[in-house]
Amino acid sequence: NAGVTQTPKFQVLKTGQSMTLQCAQDMNHNSMYWYRQDPGMGLRLIYYSASEGTTDKGEVPNGYNVSRLNKREFSLRLESAAPSQTSVYFCASTGKGRADSGNQPQHFGDGTRLSIL
């Protein structure tokens, strides 16, 4: 059982380049999330998708776009990368059944380490 799979694991970009981070889950979860983790800042929510077909902004959405391609896949796109977007990016999912009742934990991928020069 793979859980949450993120690709790539590492990436180096130049300022201004674009890139899409991929995330897929095989647990039939309804909700999916993208976070960034920076030293001393914990996890900050970029975007989330409460269910297939919906996406919403989180705490730090500027400079990012997302696509909920289907129930399994949720991608994060950087249209024009900036050095401030150097970070570790985590995808997470939760919520089996008809609706997420809030008491279910999130399952995380192993992260994508992104450096922007």
Partner 1 sequence: AQSVTQLGSHVSVSEGALVLLRCNYSSSVPPYLFWYVQYPNQGLQLLLKYTSAATLVKGINGFEAEFKKSETSFHLTKPSAHMSDAAEYFCAVRGTSGGSYIPTFGRGTSLIVHP
Alpha-carbon separation of residue 32 from 14, 61, 69, 74 (angstroms): 28, 15, 11, 7
> CB-based burial of residue 58 (10 Å sphere; 0-12 exposed, 13-18 middle, 19+ buried)?
middle
102 lies in the binding site for partner 1 (CB under 8 A): yes
Among 2, 14, 40, 98, binds partner 1 (CB under 8 A): 40
What distance in Å separates the CA atoms of residue 117 and residue 104, rounded to the nearest whole number? 38
Could you tell me how many residues of this chain bind partner 1 (CB under 8 A)? 24
61 lies in the binding site for partner 1 (CB under 8 A): no
Closest to partner 1 by CB, 64 vs 90, is: 90
Among 17, 50, 72, 73, binds partner 1 (CB under 8 A): 50
What distance in Å separates the CA atoms of residue 37 and residue 41, rounded to the nearest whole number? 7
111 lies in the binding site for partner 1 (CB under 8 A): yes
> CB-based burial of residue 74 (10 Å sphere; 0-12 exposed, 13-18 middle, 19+ buried)?
buried
Piece of 20-28, 60-68, 69-77, 97-105 that binds partner 1 (CB under 8 A): 97-105
4 lies in the binding site for partner 1 (CB under 8 A): yes
Binding site for partner 1 (CB under 8 A): 4, 31, 33, 40-43, 45, 48, 50, 56, 58, 90, 92, 100-103, 105-106, 108-111
